[in-house]
Amino acid sequence: MSIKIGILGYGNLGRGVEAAVVKEPDMELCAIYTRRDPGSVNPATEGLVVKPASDLDSAKEDIDVLMLCGGSATDLPEMTPKYAGLYNVIDSFDTHANIPSHFAKVDEAAKKAGKIGIISCGWDPGMFSLNRLYAHSILPEGKDYTFWGKGVSQGHSDAIRRIEGVKDARQYTIPVAESVERVRSGEDPELSTREKHLRDCYVVAEEGVDRDRIVKEIKTMPNYFADYNTTVHFISEEEMKAEHSGLPHGGSVIYAGTTGKDGKRHIIEYSLKLDSNPEFTGSVLTAYARAAYRMNKDGQSGAKTVFDIAPALLSRFSGEELLKMYL
Amino acid sequence: MSIKIGILGYGNLGRGVEAAVVKEPDMELCAIYTRRDPGSVNPATEGLVVKPASDLDSAKEDIDVLMLCGGSATDLPEMTPKYAGLYNVIDSFDTHANIPSHFAKVDEAAKKAGKIGIISCGWDPGMFSLNRLYAHSILPEGKDYTFWGKGVSQGHSDAIRRIEGVKDARQYTIPVAESVERVRSGEDPELSTREKHLRDCYVVAEEGVDRDRIVKEIKTMPNYFADYNTTVHFISEEEMKAEHSGLPHGGSVIYAGTTGKDGKRHIIEYSLKLDSNPEFTGSVLTAYARAAYRMNKDGQSGAKTVFDIAPALLSRFSGEELLKMYL
């Protein structure tokens, strides 16, 4: 029997989930749900049904897990508690400060409905969080460092696009190579914001505008750029399309810990190099959809994170197969 | 209330477990159990009780988890099923081909006794296995590569020591850097045994022996060295002691996977650089001892591996704390 999957929201992440689900032999992608006009949505999968999001308002849709592919700013804080009261759900909520309250709301709704709600799934939060937890649990004396990139930050790209005279922009977050090496060597450095990441910006400017003003507005933008070494390159629309249309990302969690009386040093590093951030994130959500389905079948309910989920639940293979294949 | 820990076997791994347990605020190291004369064992921890292994033959010892620090060749196949019938236990069984049958025996004994038996814990099998499982589950289309080293292989060092005219030896396993780079770049190469690892040997020879014969015997030794590019260095006993007395190890699991119709490529890499193989392995076992204790308190029993254990069970912090600290 297949696990029946629905996707709510058909942006980059929704398409990434779709790409992953259609390749899983034990899953069936039943429908895309959208708040737009369903007729205006064109799924990559031929013949896939597109329905209005309002169809989900009762628990009548025949799906086992609903993948919530909205944004963390305004969509998920409403969506996840709402739909966790009706379906098993998974989201990629990443507003760090609000995770505890989001968890509490989803937990209440999901427990009342007897459903599972997995929140904050993806790679950070998600796989990076797991690696922080494993490392700290194994080596309680130590410190973790997270570096992001090289990769496109959508939030920073959008911030540049809001500047007057900017037609398009793409911002790459890049870890400072020397700092990564210092951490890897076990030096255990204190690193400022500026020492951890660079920001590299590609901008298409409108004709005749003052480029120096745009550069200055970018470099002095508080929170986004002012605390970083930032470089700005002006390029043509053609170059933007040809060379910067992908959404690569990645990064590393590096943990430096010690053991024993004489402080033997151990470095644990987990790193990702992703051609497509939304397709990888969608693949993580898809593996955890299998876990949500199984935990619910097993009688469990409530909010869960990657911390609460035994790794074997992610795989379509049996416990016996896993021992032979991966242990 | 502390988790009461016993250690059976006081070799390198037993000392590694001891070093980790004494630093855990929620654990109490109760005793070392040995098959040797207890009077001949000198624990690193002042005042720690040393008892004969036979004290464990009934379920009378007041311990929550027994750490089995014997070898995989002859100790653990007997020890783990035996003691899993009396206590919650953890081992680091690493004879890959025999894991399924070892699991079955431990499972039967532990279920009968209502205890938990975690097998094959450490870093490989252990953390490396986990990373293979997570990667394959997230990206079903792909391939994992495991490289070991640079690190001391005790088995290979012992094999050299058995050659006539050899007083002492230390063998380092070293990944072939070009091959690691080929995998990291996403090339997805087919690699022979020789292309994956080098073997670097440091030998103290007896005086007057034919060194060329020793080199030849090493390089042609089947299974251990014949399939590898092997280098042999003759050194003095003083050099051996000064420069090769540590037990560093490490390695990496690199996974190259693809998503989507156009095969977007993703590289996941998990790597370890360990100053002390036994202290790191002992730290992994110690974190999993906490999980064994909790799962048993929760009413669970039977054999488990790292695949079956939710990450949160390894940490001494609460679920709420974990959300804030690591997610």
Residues of B within 8 A of A325 (CB-CB) are 132, 136
CB-based burial, B120-155: b 16+ in 10 Å, e otherwise: bbbbbbbbbbbbbbbbbbbbbebbbbbbbbbbbbbe
pLDDT value at A275 more than 90: yes
Q: Minimal Cα–Cα distance from B69 to chain A, Å?
A: 17
By C-alpha distance, the chain A residue nearest B267 is A273
Report field, pTM of the whole predicted structure over 0.95:
yes
The SS3 assignment for A208 reads coil
Digit-coded pLDDT (tens) for B55-73: 999 999 999 999 999 999 8
Read off the pLDDT of each residue in A9-31 and give the average, rounded to a whole number: 97
Query: CB neighbours (10 Å) of residue A184?
Result: 16
Cβ contact, residue pair A138, B287, below 8 Å: yes
Which residues are bridge partners to B148 per DSSP?
A: B251
Cβ atoms of residues B63 and B30 within 8 Å: yes
Cis peptide before A150 (omega within 30 of 0): yes
pLDDT of residue B1: 79
By C-alpha distance, the chain B residue nearest A144 is B326
Cβ atoms of residues B315 and A136 within 8 Å: yes
- Interface check for A294 against chain B (CB to CB < 8 A): the answer is no
Name which of A139, A264, A298, A324 to mutate to probe chain B: the one with the most chain B Cβ atoms within 10 A of its Cβ. Answer: A264
pLDDT value at A153 more than 90: yes
Cβ atoms of residues A277 and A152 within 8 Å: yes
pLDDT-derived band at A193 (thresholds 50, 70, 90) equals: very high
pLDDT of residue B44: 97
Cβ atoms of residues A197 and A176 within 8 Å: yes
Cβ contact, residue pair B273, A287, below 8 Å: no
- In this structure, is the dihedral angle defined by the CA atoms of residues B175, B177, B181 and B187, taken in order, positive or negative? negative
Q: Could you tell me if residue A238 is left (phi over 0), alpha (psi between -120 and 50 degrees) or otherwise beta?
A: alpha
pLDDT of residue B299: 98
Phi, psi of B175, rounded to the nearest 5 degrees: -70, 145
pLDDT-derived band at B115 (thresholds 50, 70, 90) equals: very high
CB-based burial, B217-243: b 16+ in 10 Å, e otherwise: bbbebeebbeebebebeebeeeebeee
- Interface check for A22 against chain B (CB to CB < 8 A): the answer is no
What would the DSSP string read from start to end of A84-103?
A: HTTSEEE-----GGGHHHHH
pLDDT of residue A177: 96
Q: How far apart are CA A312 and CA A323, in angstroms?
A: 10
pLDDT of residue B237: 97
- Interface check for A155 against chain B (CB to CB < 8 A): the answer is no
- Interface check for B122 against chain A (CB to CB < 8 A): the answer is no
Q: How far apart are CA B247 and CA B123, in angstroms?
A: 14
Which residues are bridge partners to B29 per DSSP?
A: B5
Digit-coded pLDDT (tens) for A203-241: 999 999 999 999 999 999 999 999 999 999 999 999 999
The SS3 assignment for A24 reads coil
- Interface check for B107 against chain A (CB to CB < 8 A): the answer is no
pLDDT value at B107 more than 90: yes
pLDDT-derived band at B76 (thresholds 50, 70, 90) equals: very high
Cβ contact, residue pair A259, B283, below 8 Å: yes
pLDDT value at B144 more than 90: yes
- Interface check for B14 against chain A (CB to CB < 8 A): the answer is no
Which among A24, A264, A272 is the nearest to B275, CB-wise?
A: A264
Residue A65 parent element (H or E): strand A65-68
Read off the pLDDT of each residue in B90-94 and give the average, rounded to a whole number: 97
Digit-coded pLDDT (tens) for B276-308: 999 999 999 999 999 999 999 999 999 999 999
Distances (CA, A) of B3 to B17, B24, B230: 14, 10, 46
Digit-coded pLDDT (tens) for A28-73: 999 999 999 999 999 999 999 999 999 999 999 999 999 999 999 8
Which among B260, B290, B312 is the nearest to A308, CB-wise?
A: B312
Read off the pLDDT of each residue in A93-105 and give the average, rounded to a whole number: 95
pLDDT value at A5 more than 90: yes
Q: Is the ipTM, as predicted for this complex, more than 0.90?
A: yes
Q: How far apart are CA A327 and CA B249, in angstroms?
A: 19
Phi, psi of B148, rounded to the nearest 5 degrees: -110, 145
Residues of B within 8 A of A283 (CB-CB) are 138-139, 259
Cβ atoms of residues B199 and B235 within 8 Å: no
Q: Minimal Cα–Cα distance from B162 to chain A, Å?
A: 30
pLDDT of residue A14: 98
pLDDT value at B41 more than 90: yes
| Helix, strand, coil abundance in chain A, percent, nearest 5 | 40, 25, 35
**Total CB pairs under 8 A between chain A and B:** 211
Cβ atoms of residues B313 and B290 within 8 Å: yes
pLDDT value at A162 more than 90: yes
Q: Who contacts B79 (Cβ-Cβ below 8 Å, separation ≥6)?
A: B8, B68, B70, B91
- Interface check for B323 against chain A (CB to CB < 8 A): the answer is yes
Query: CB neighbours (10 Å) of residue A239?
Result: 13
Q: How far apart are CA A212 and CA A283, in angstroms?
A: 42
Digit-coded pLDDT (tens) for B149-173: 999 998 999 999 999 999 999 999 9
Of all residues in chain A, the percent with pLDDT exceeding 90 is 98
Which among B19, B186, B310 is the nearest to A307, CB-wise?
A: B310
Cβ contact, residue pair A327, B259, below 8 Å: no
pLDDT value at A156 more than 90: yes
pLDDT value at B136 more than 90: yes
Q: Is A146 exposed, middle or buried (0-12, 13-18, 19+ CB in 10 A)?
A: middle
Q: Who contacts A155 (Cβ-Cβ below 8 Å, separation ≥6)?
A: A224
Cβ contact, residue pair B266, A280, below 8 Å: yes
**Across chain B, what does the average pLDDT equal?**
97
pLDDT value at A1 more than 90: no
Read off the pLDDT of each residue in A166-184 and give the average, rounded to a whole number: 97
